Structure 1
Amino acid sequence: MTEILQVVCPHCDALNRVPAVRLAHRPVCGACRRALFEDRPLVLDEARFRRHLRSDSLPLLVDFWASWCAPCRAMAPEFEAAAASLGPAIRLAKVSTEEAPALAQELAIRSIPMLVMFREGREVARHPGAMPARQIVAWALQHAG
């Protein structure tokens, strides 16, 4: 029997049911008809983060960052390159701690950049500090399950 995944649209946040074997075939959202996967991280505010965390079947790797943080800015293209390698099996997202300070406090984000891996709505691993793309990919695959 084919595993059916629930995938949140990165554009309209609609829920979509997608057979796991079809992830690599560029599925589109049933509501807005746009691609469910792009080769770049999503930019999430607190509400959208919670929706993706709560409703998406895919592992979620989040880069918590801030615009004033030089290591965060240096890691941004590396995280983008990792997204191209890891999708669609792992959803990558960026959350600004400046725009979501309550969320950062709730999740005890004390240093940035901070990578946090979530599976089934729960944190499973975190890594402080900047990393090159190949290291992000290796770390994500190790913790995605």
Structure 2
Amino acid sequence: MTKQPFNSIYGDQARQSTGLLFNQVYNQWHSRIKQKLATIDLTLPQFFVLAATAFLQRQQDFVTQVDIARFSDMDVMTVSQVLRLLVKKNLLTREVHPKDSRAKIILLTEAGLAKVNQALPLVEHFDLEFFGKLEQEKEHFNQLLIKLEEKNA
């Protein structure tokens, strides 16, 4: 069989491709975390929006959709769609911003706070288990991720 041209700098050494490896690991993490969150009727984007809202409400007086999008590095329109679903689930409310009538503030309901507090230990335990396989290298891995995030922002 004749080998077809394959215009990759890695040739037949696919495991040298950082992007491929990152994608494979991300897909493993993503698939498993989605399964965990499904057990409590949440999607991953819903969890991110709830967790971002809970975190930001501890840091500032008013949380907006734009604040959530920036903090979670999600597209504003995606955040808007997720917010609508979470409002329907009675996990969040939208209210008129007291200082800007054109803006809405996002607030966790009691049910939303309970849901995020149910989800956080589930997600954090999973992350500890999944990334714990790095052992002593986990902190270095986190620092490298922070560096990549900052340099590519």
Q: TM-score, normalised by structure 1?
A: 0.24
Q: Which of the two has greater strand per residue?
A: 1
Q: Which of the two has greater helix per residue?
A: 2
Higher relative contact order structure (alpha carbons within 8 Å, sequence separation ≥ 6): 1
Larger Rg: 2
